[in-house]
Structure formats: structure tokens, C-alpha cells
Amino acid sequence: MQFIFDNWPLLSWRRDDGIGGERVAVDTVTAQTLTNKTLTSPVISGPTLSGTVAGLLFPVTEYDGDGAIAIATGIVALISTDAGAYTLAAPSAAQAGTMLIITSKTAAAHVITATNLINDGVGPTLDTITFDAQPGASIILVAYNLLWYVVSQNATTATAAA
């Protein structure tokens, strides 16, 4: 048995089994699944990333006092030395996918209110996020389906209004 390479280097191979029959083992037209095979010098083509993806830097917005947090992908740094009272509005359908990384730079118990907008995957939607009075307390939220979904949290607690 021998392998015959057609159209090299386009990876079209035929197998000659010695009895006049030939079968295409690999071609470049149909989808192929290779299992337990070793590829030597493969060339992998894929999507090209451009724009702000290269480097993956998020803009940082500092908040020094009470107020509304803007809905825009980025890092929100709470820098007030006193416990801040912040609000977060509902994201629109057009803002789906917006990611907020909210972190405290100070030892203050900041509170963010987003009434019935916080989905932590545990129960009904929640109303507030309270930060432990520790620098580094943080939460990552992603806008989806007109709500804020908790992706990750560290030293923060999301609760329903009493």
C-alpha cells in the first residue's frame, strides 16, 4: 500500500491499496476529522484580530463620590475614602455585552444600587451590591437581556432590598 500525493501542497492524498482501487484519504474540499494523527508542520489559518482587542486594555474611570455609574465597557475605580452611594441604570438591548469591572481602591464600604437589575445566578434579581471595606473588593458585571449578570465577585455581596 502506498500514499500518492496529488496537488501537493494542497493536502489531497490518495491511497493505492494495490488491487486497482484508490480512495481519497484527505482532501481540501470536504470537512475532515483527524483522530489520533500526528501532523508535521501544519499550517493553521484563522481569524485575524484587530482594533482594541490587541493588548486588551480597558479604559479606567475613577469615581470620587456618590453618583451614577456610566454604562460603558471598562474599569470603574471607586476611589472615595468615604463609603460611596452609587447607582447603576438598566442596560439597553443595544448595550448587551457591555462589561463593567468595578473595583474599590479604598477601605470603604461602597454601595451600588441597581433595583431589580442584578442577576447572580442564584435566585431572583437583586437590588444592591455592597463592597467590603477593603481595597480590591470588586465585581464584574455583563449586560445581557436588560439586566446586569454577575460574572465574578470578590469581597462584595449582592442583596435584595429589605
* Predicted TM-score (pTM) above 0.85: no
pLDDT surpassing 60 at residue 20: no
**What is the chain's mean pLDDT, rounded?**
82
pLDDT for the residue numbered 34: 61
Could you give the CA distance from residue 58 to residue 56 in angstroms, rounded to a whole number? Answer: 7
Whether 127 and 112 have beta carbons less than 8 Å apart is answered as: no
Domain identity same for 90 and 151: yes
Domain identity same for 81 and 132: yes
Domain identity same for 22 and 87: no
Q: Determine, yes or no, domain membership for 76.
A: yes
pLDDT for the residue numbered 161: 83
Other C-beta atoms closer than 10 Å to the C-beta of 64 total 14
Q: Determine, yes or no, domain membership for 51.
A: no
Q: Determine, yes or no, domain membership for 50.
A: no
Domain identity same for 18 and 63: no
Domain identity same for 67 and 18: no
Into how many domains does the chain fold?
Answer: 2
Mean pLDDT of 95-104: 96
pLDDT for the residue numbered 66: 97
Give residue 65's pLDDT band: very low, low, confident or very high (50, 70, 90): very high
- C-alpha cell at position 16: 493505492
Q: Determine, yes or no, domain membership for 37.
A: no
Q: Determine, yes or no, domain membership for 131.
A: yes
Q: Determine, yes or no, domain membership for 25.
A: yes
Q: Determine, yes or no, domain membership for 53.
A: no
Could you give the CA distance from residue 151 to residue 101 in angstroms, rounded to a whole number? Answer: 10
- C-alpha cell at position 8: 501537493
Domain identity same for 76 and 128: yes
Q: Is the dihedral of CA 137, 80, 65, 101 positive or negative?
A: negative
Whether 83 and 139 have beta carbons less than 8 Å apart is answered as: no
Domain identity same for 2 and 80: no
Q: Determine, yes or no, domain membership for 40.
A: no
Domain that holds residue 94: 59-159
